[in-house]
Amino acid sequence: MNAPLALDTLKQQGGAVAVQQNYAPGFGSSQSFELMIRQSKLLMTTTLVPAAYRSQVVKLDKYGNVKETRENPNALSNCAVALNMATRMGADPLMVMQNLYIVEGRPSWSSQWIIAAINDCGRFSPLRFEIKVLGKKTVPYATTYWEDNQRRTKTENVAIVDKQCIAWVKELATGERLESPPISIEMAVREGWYTKNGSKWQTMDEVMLRYRAASFFGKLYAPELLMGLQSREEAEDIIDMDTGAPVSGPVSMADLRSGPAPMVDEVEQQSPPADAPVDAETGEVAGADGEIAQQQDQQHAFDGDSYAGQIERAADADTVNRLVREIPAEVSDDLRDVLMGVADRRIAALVDGQQQAEQQPTTTGRRRSNVASPE
């Protein structure tokens, strides 16, 4: 048997050497696009990526049991977009997918990833934060409501302990200190971040101050790292929320929702045991620490059937809107969708009842006229 020729020997003998060209996944050529699709098909089948990239969508009931499984039609395209962004940034695709969130159709980075990207870029010293307590104050803010089929705005006041945060670094090339714009609790109140339903600004104010300051710093001094995207927390805060709807017209679900449209819960394809608490976001079974079990107990404490009955018995649309806004933030998205559907049907029934009541006097008058005409 002939021994294999070394590459140098083959070149010396004048033989042709075929060199395979390396392609990066992307949209630049057919080979790059084909490679990107192949990689996307691999990533969409793993459970290590967030729900938006998985090929299977699993819906849970309020107790964490699987009730429906369907194909995710956007999984392949979402993976392809994430791979393209990872290639452009020179980052690991799994890292990008783990930290890229979709909020109301807009991609956004997690704040932890923004801080890590700034620290790892090599242009600045590690990101640091300065927090000052400015004292107690009462801050006015504008809120929107419906009255007489008109959307109106009123001013309310909220008492806060104002704090201010600045993110800063030293530029390694010049030694200059670079600072973000100051972020304060008063700013969060006036912008509507503090008072929205389920806001973390009321319970984790210093964490949210640091996250927002880091996002502002990144957009000012390192926009190429963020590729023009906002942080996840910032995108959620900026979403405009409706607080109600007029009684005399049909009401859509968008008018009833007090926050971002809930997305379906997605978990791993394997069904968890019926008696085991399951995290609705990650699909992981609770361990010995019992953290997920505690979250499940909080959800079980909320009686969805009783609350749905209150919505069905509501006498007017204002009561329905109030009950929808008071749905606890910790309930599962599936239970929230059910309650939203009950509210939508109740609003439609109230509108139909009002229209029938308005038509009833006219019909009665016509009947009386017909009876009296022979006389």
Q: Give all strands (DSSP E) within 3-127, no chain letters.
A: 56-60, 66-71, 100-103, 106-109
* Average pLDDT along the chain: 76
DSSP code, position 200: T
The per-residue pLDDT for range 270-298, each reduced to its tens digit, is 444 555 555 555 555 554 444 444 444 44
pLDDT band of residue 180 (cuts 50, 70, 90) is very high
Mean pLDDT value of segment 8-23: 59
Q: For residue 259, give the nearest of 308, 198, 208 by alpha carbon.
A: 198
pLDDT score, position 315: 86
Give the number of other Cβ atoms within 10 Å of residue 199's Cβ.
Answer: 19
pLDDT score, position 335: 79
pLDDT score, position 185: 94
pLDDT score, position 374: 42
pLDDT score, position 256: 43
Q: For residue 101, give the nearest of 222, 209, 260, 292 by alpha carbon.
A: 260
Give whichever of 37-41, 88-92, 262-266, 295-299 has the largest mean pLDDT. 37-41
pLDDT score, position 259: 44
CA distance 193 to 259: 11
pLDDT score, position 152: 83
The phi and psi torsions of 167 (rounded to 5 degrees) equal -95, 135
pLDDT band of residue 265 (cuts 50, 70, 90) is very low
Ranges of each domain in the chain: 25-103, 108-238, 253-358
Q: What is the CA radius of gyration of the chain?
A: 28
Mean pLDDT value of segment 339-368: 70
pLDDT score, position 273: 52
pLDDT score, position 369: 47
Mean pLDDT value of segment 121-149: 89
